[in-house]
Amino acid sequence: MSDPLPCPSVVSDAELIASLREQLDAQAVTIAEQAASLAHSEKIFNRSSAAARIGVWECTLADESLVWTDVVYDLFDQERGTPLDRAVTLKCYPEESLRALHEARSKAIEERSGFSLETKIVTPKGNRRWIRITATVESIDGVAVRIFGMKQDITEEKLLADRNRYLAEYDVMTGLANRSRFQSKLSELVTATMATKPFGALLLIDLDEFKSVNDSCGHAAGDECLREAAQRIGSVCVGAELVARIGGDEFAVMLGAGLSFGEILETAAAIVAEMNRPVLFRGRLLQLGASVGVALVDDCTPSQLFVMADAALYAAKDAGRGTYRLHRPGSGQRAPRPFAVA
């Protein structure tokens, strides 16, 4: 006879329940760990988004319903978690910005692509911001169903860019255009005036006693004289194309076409008269004065125009200062300085 088969072990209900409980507990621990990891990742994402001022948004195209993260709520000065109405949010965009947004969005939906756009908004609280919008269109079976992306506050970035641009083109001391901007604009003046005629002019101005004031009264007095000179020249030349500080105590005024010959000379005389008035600095009256050289735009290049105005300026200085002179071809006036147009 063969040996009897071994009897299978019998698992009790209690043991089965205990085993299932262990499995469920292990799964619960895994789920809890995953949830904790997800919550931690979400916290990092939210903190990173807030630090970078980047928010995520989504719009379902069928009903135009919106979903925003907290940063986008903050960008638009909306209370977090409140219901969103796209028609209301669009009111935050000025007309020009709204038109650009509509065009970019429509094209992206039509082509089932995306877009990136920098635009302005004005929030319900009156805050003006620049935002960068990036978007991607999601489609199903060739039909656009959703558009989503990010919105970032780039206001500080824009302000920094504007400041850098300002520093590159304007004189910090006086607020006038600097030499670089003057050089680039001079070509525009000459081109425009040559096309329209009959007149346009360049006035070069040099402060007569600036070095003496600087040496005897200090740089603070000199700085005040420069600021006052800029203000006075600007007040006389309100309609000028450009008023610039092109050197230490040198200024330039670009007059466009439309002024008569007499009006151009009257402007030069008015600058001289304004600068003959003393400058008040800390209870002291400082006497400056100015010499002005005038050159008319007449079939010349920007460099030639500068040379002519500079020659007229030196003629005014040779005449005793505190006056103006008009460049006269063939008069023997000379310009000792070269000039390069940017």
In this predicted structure, the answer to whether residue 97 has a pLDDT above a threshold of 80 is yes
**pLDDT confidence band for 195 (50 / 70 / 90):** low
Residue with tokens 């992206």: 108
In this predicted structure, the answer to whether residue 222 has a pLDDT above a threshold of 70 is yes
Model confidence pLDDT, tens digit, residues 103-124: 999 999 999 999 999 999 999 9
Mean pLDDT throughout 224-233? 95
In this predicted structure, the answer to whether residue 297 has a pLDDT above a threshold of 50 is yes
Identity (one letter) of the amino acid at 64? Answer: E
The domain 170-326 is placed in CATH, from the list 3.30.70.270, 3.40.50.300, 3.20.20.80, 3.40.30.10, at: 3.30.70.270
Residue 3 is among the residues annotated as catalytic for this protein = no
Mean pLDDT throughout 147-170? 92
In this predicted structure, the answer to whether residue 293 has a pLDDT above a threshold of 90 is yes
Q: What integer pLDDT is reported at residue 192 of this predicted model?
A: 74
DSSP string spanning 186-236? Answer: HHHHHHHHHHH-S--EEEEEEESSHHHHHHHH-HHHHHHHHHHHHHHHHHH
- Of the ranges 195-204, 232-241, 304-313, which one carries the lowest mean pLDDT score? 195-204
Share above pLDDT 70 across residues of the chain, in percent, rounded to a whole number: 81
Q: What integer pLDDT is reported at residue 198 of this predicted model?
A: 63
Which fold does the domain 52-159 belong to in CATH?
A: Beta-Lactamase (3.30.450)
**In the chain, what is the straight-line distance between the N-terminal and C-terminal CA atoms, in Å?**
115
Domain span(s) for CATH 3.30.450.20 in the chain? 52-159
Run of H or E including 167: helix 155-169
Among the listed residues 249, 298, 299, 318, the single catalytic one is 249
Q: What integer pLDDT is reported at residue 41 of this predicted model?
A: 41
> Is 226:178 a contact under the CB 8 Å cutoff?
no
Domain span(s) for CATH 3.30.70.270 in the chain? 170-326
